[in-house]
Amino acid sequence: MINKSKERKAIPLRLLYSGSVILAAVTPAAALAQSETLANEQESVGIAPIIVTAERRETALQDTPISISAFSVDDLQSRQINSLSDFGTSVPNLSFHNANSNSGSSNVASAYIRGIGQSNIIINTDPGVGIYVDGVYLSKTLGSVLDVFDLERVEVLRGPQGTLFGRNTIGGAINITTRRPGGSRRAAMEIGLGITQDEVLYRGRASFDMPLADSVSLGGAFYVAQQDGWMETPFNDHPLGDTNRLAGRFQLAIDPVENLTIDLSFDASRTRENGAPVSIVRVDDSSGFIAFLNNSSVGSPCFPPPASSSDARCFSDRWVSGRNINFENDRSFSHADGWGVGANIHWQGNDISIRSITAFRSVDARYGKGLDGSPLPLLNYRSDYDLDQFSQELQLGGTLFDSVDYVLGAYYGHETGGEDYPLELYVNDVLSGGRISNDNWALYGQATWNIIGGLDLVGGLRYTEETKRFTPNQVVTGPGVIGLLPVGTPILPSGEATLSISEISPLIGLSYEWSDEVMTYIRYSEGFKSGGFTQTVFPPLSFIPSFRPEFVSVYEAGIKTESFDRRLIINAAIFQTDYEDVQVLVFQGIAPTTSNAAAARIRGAELEASALIDRNLRVSAGIGYLDAGFIEVGPDASEITIDAQLQNAPEWSINAAVDYTYDRLSWADIRFHADWNYTSTVFNDARNTPEIMQPGYSIVNAGVTISSKDEDLEIVFGVTNIFDTQYFISGYNHLEFIGYVEAAWGEPRTATMTVRTRF
């Protein structure tokens, strides 16, 4: 590792602050200055350094020249974060939800960073935000909403990540590091009881470390959660928004010789839920299949529109509902089984390290819903989904000439799988879907050259080759009610379609440590997200539709500061993203297809601050700002205007948290936590449909932890969404296709009591 000289001239930190109105506005510097004398008289207490692996080597967060947020285990517990979807409001410019309203699945990682992401669940689409677990990339959004248990750290990296990671990711990355088993015997258990909308929640976690020999340890962790749904479904009695999850993980840590570590892991999960809490928020009875239904099945008074709202035979606005009820008669469900094995082998020499990451992962899922949200026989579908993923990554890292840190890597990934989902349409019954077989390989590298003193130059390059193959399985299987097409009519032609791409992605940056307290940086990076094939098609097409990759170029500048003996930390970044060939959902016929139909520009900033007012009181805050809009819209996207706002790109995302510890009792410490999270207006589709536009909203959470002095026993009382704010987490416009708009809702107020013990 580079040993940077400490003889460089230090610039007074207060001088740097004096020119920054924004930083001064959010920093409790006056309070810190007043308490500095008292702190000096006591033992030196500061915010503990956070070690991250964003650069594929361990570095302090304050020394890492990238916009990054990191959460320790204590951070996760205090914020009552139980799954990745709970991060959505805790990180500036991050949007993360676990549901796609169109699919009904409650296990979809709909993640956006700085306005770039992916909400489409189909197997032919790649995520815009990469999720990595111990270095292993999760290639699809379905099955990527991981439960948080037995972790060491979670990092959120903003911007393209390609010159240091196995798979390219265009919007950013969520990097998860699990806890490695230690060399001593240990066990921990947690039992939680809660209530949401009168429905009782049960949650449990357990973990252990068991030394098997001097250099071998076995670790295990388990998670279970159970709760009935809080959204009523009076016509099928399977309420939505329920929780039914089971997950486990084993890891064998082997240290056979000095400087060599071998980690072997196995994990599995099982989900059996009724589906995401979705309901209709608008009906247009003159559009789509609704007009067919009202006319051909009933006629007057259901047709011509407006349909009678008092007649249950009519599809009308009588079926519009809010957060607490869904009138669908077809049962929704969201089932998933996943498992994976991995081997992480690392050898560390004096100036060189070698790492191999091998993994195989498999997901089998079944999900479906009635797509009309009413008890009328209009439209429903079911999906059978399977995916197998293999990846192998090799890394070589080290230091050259005492001034250059480098990482070189090679990656290969292969995935096979498919989807078959029968749709019961009013006009015809259709089997949709198909099989995929994809290959991805890449060479990448990044080097940091310490030019002199605190001045570093970083450069990186990635070369990627991808081949995607799709074999459709789409045909008319039944007449439906109308029988528009004869049974056996192909929806897409048979045979395999292939899409290949090779791409070079560069990175260059410069950073300077002005003092031990201040570091600034600038960087330029490029990234891309793969293309694919459209598999939701109706009426039939004579060709297999595809879409090209999308590309970004990102310019970023940032500052990282720490002062008052690390009792005040402020990090900020500004950026501009040029976003080309944007993949957006458009309508071809009556089905949504993906098209490279636009270009966009995203400008914004992030600021995060944390202050230790005294040893018992900590205050933190984060602000994200986005100015995101289209600068070009192609003819294929007739539903989108140049003035439309980007999906899941709120102008403001703000959070603040307070933690206070009362430690004057002889038998226990009492910790108080409260956090406030604000998100400004969110558009849940590229068309900016008004009915699923979510106005700005706030979520407030709080908790109290009573901890024994030895920290072996904790009792936690917590409440999330204290004021029971009602808000959308996703939405879908079916006006042309069916004739209504639907939305998925966020979690209501939940109160919990948790007991943790360690032994």
Predicted confidence at residue 375, as pLDDT, reads 87
Higher pLDDT, 409 or 374: 409
Out of 289-298, 403-412, 486-495, 723-732, which region has the weakest mean confidence (pLDDT)? 289-298
pLDDT of 1 strictly over 60? no
Q: Is residue 362 part of a domain?
A: yes
pLDDT at 506: 96
pLDDT at 745 over 80: yes
pTM beyond 0.85: the answer is yes
What is d(CA 189, CA 231) in angstroms, rounded to the nearest whole number?
31
Q: Is residue 645 assigned to a domain?
A: yes
> What per-residue confidence (pLDDT) applies to 3?
45
Mean pLDDT of the chain: 87
Whether 431 and 422 have beta carbons less than 8 Å apart is answered as yes
**What is the three-class DSSP state of 529?**
strand
What pLDDT digit, counting tens, does each position of 426-441 carry? 677 888 889 999 999 9
Report the range of poorest mean pLDDT among 67-76, 142-151, 371-380, 564-573.
142-151
Say if residue 7's pLDDT is above 60.
no
> Is residue 171 over pLDDT 80?
yes
pLDDT at residue 615 is higher than 80: yes
The mean pLDDT of 89-113, rounded to a whole number, is 82
- The position carrying tokens 């979807």 is 85
Judge whether residue 43 has pLDDT over 60.
no
pLDDT score of 559 more than 60: yes
- 260-269, 385-394, 469-478: least confident range: 469-478
Structure tokens given for 562? 């720490």
pLDDT at 569 over 70: yes
Please indicate whether residue 405 or residue 425 has the higher confidence score (pLDDT).
405
Q: The tokens of 381 are what?
A: 């579908």
Average pLDDT over residues 531-545: 84
Number of domains in the chain: 1
Check pLDDT > 80 for residue 31. Answer: no
For the chain, the maximum distance between any two Cα atoms, rounded to a whole number of angstroms, is 87
Comparison of pLDDT for 347 and 375, the residue scoring more: 347
Q: How confident is the model at residue 168 (pLDDT cuts 50, 70, 90)?
A: confident
How many CA atoms lie within 13 Å of 454's alpha carbon, on the beta-carbon side?
20
pLDDT tier for residue 390 given thresholds of 50, 70 and 90: very high
- Domain containing residue 124: CATH number: 2.40.170.20
Between residues 352 and 10, the one the model is more confident about: 352
Whether residue 589 lies inside any domain: the answer is yes
Q: Quick one: pLDDT at residue 12?
A: 37
Q: Which of 26-30, 412-416, 466-470, 495-499 has the lowest mean pLDDT?
A: 26-30
The alpha carbon dihedral of 159, 162, 165, 167 has a sign of positive
Q: Which residue has the higher pLDDT, 81 or 460?
A: 460
| Bigger pLDDT: 12 vs 1 | 1
pLDDT at 383: 87
pLDDT on residue 526: 95
Q: SS3 for 390-420, per residue?
A: EEEEEEEEEEECCCEEEEEEEEEEEEEEEEE
**What local confidence, expressed as pLDDT, does residue 209 receive?**
94
Element (H, E) at 18: helix 13-18
Length of the chain measured in residues? 759
Domain region containing 252: 13-277+323-758
Q: Higher model confidence: residue 207 or residue 372?
A: 207
pLDDT (average), residues 121-150: 84
Q: Is residue 34 scored above 60 in pLDDT?
A: no
Q: What pLDDT does residue 45 have?
A: 63
Q: Which helix (H) or strand (E) holds 112?
A: strand 110-113
Residue 3: inside a domain = no
Q: Where are the alpha helices (DSSP H) in 221-338?
A: 288-293
pLDDT band for 26, please (50, 70, 90 cuts).
very low
Which residue has better confidence, 53 or 325?
325
Give mean pLDDT, residues 462-489. Answer: 86
Confidence of residue 405 (pLDDT cuts 50, 70, 90): very high
Residue 296 lies in a domain: no
What pairs with residue 477 in β-bridges? none
Beta partners for 630?
600
Give residue 19's pLDDT. 34
Q: List the single range of 333-342, 373-382, 491-500 with lowest mean pLDDT.
A: 373-382
Peptide bond into 306 cis (omega under 30): yes
Assign 738 a pLDDT band (cuts: 50, 70, 90). Answer: confident
| Residue 304 within a domain | no
- Identify which has the larger pLDDT, 140 or 524: 524
Residue 318 resides in a domain: no
Q: Are 359 and 391 in contact (CB under 8 A)?
A: yes
Tell me the average pLDDT across 248-265: 94
Over 50: is that where the pLDDT of 395 sits? yes
Most confident of 372-376, 431-435, 447-451: 447-451
- For residue 718, the model assigns a pLDDT of 95
pLDDT at 9: 37
Mean pLDDT of 253-276: 94
User: Lowest mean pLDDT: which of 67-81, 136-150, 661-675?
Assistant: 136-150
- Give the C-alpha separation, 245 to 239, whole Å: 16
pLDDT attached to residue 348: 93
Spatial distance between the Cα atoms of 553 and 579, rounded to a whole number of angstroms: 7
| DSSP letters for 170-218 | SSEEEEEEEPPP-SS-EEEEEEEEEEETTEEEEEEEEEEEEEEETTEEE
Residue 299 lies in a domain: no
State mean pLDDT over 191-202: 93
Structural element, H or E, at residue 24: helix 21-26
Q: Is the pLDDT of residue 6 over 90?
A: no
Lowest mean pLDDT among 122-126, 693-697, 709-713: 122-126
Residue 746 is predicted with a pLDDT of 92
More confident residue, 298 or 327: 327
Give the pLDDT score at 587: 67
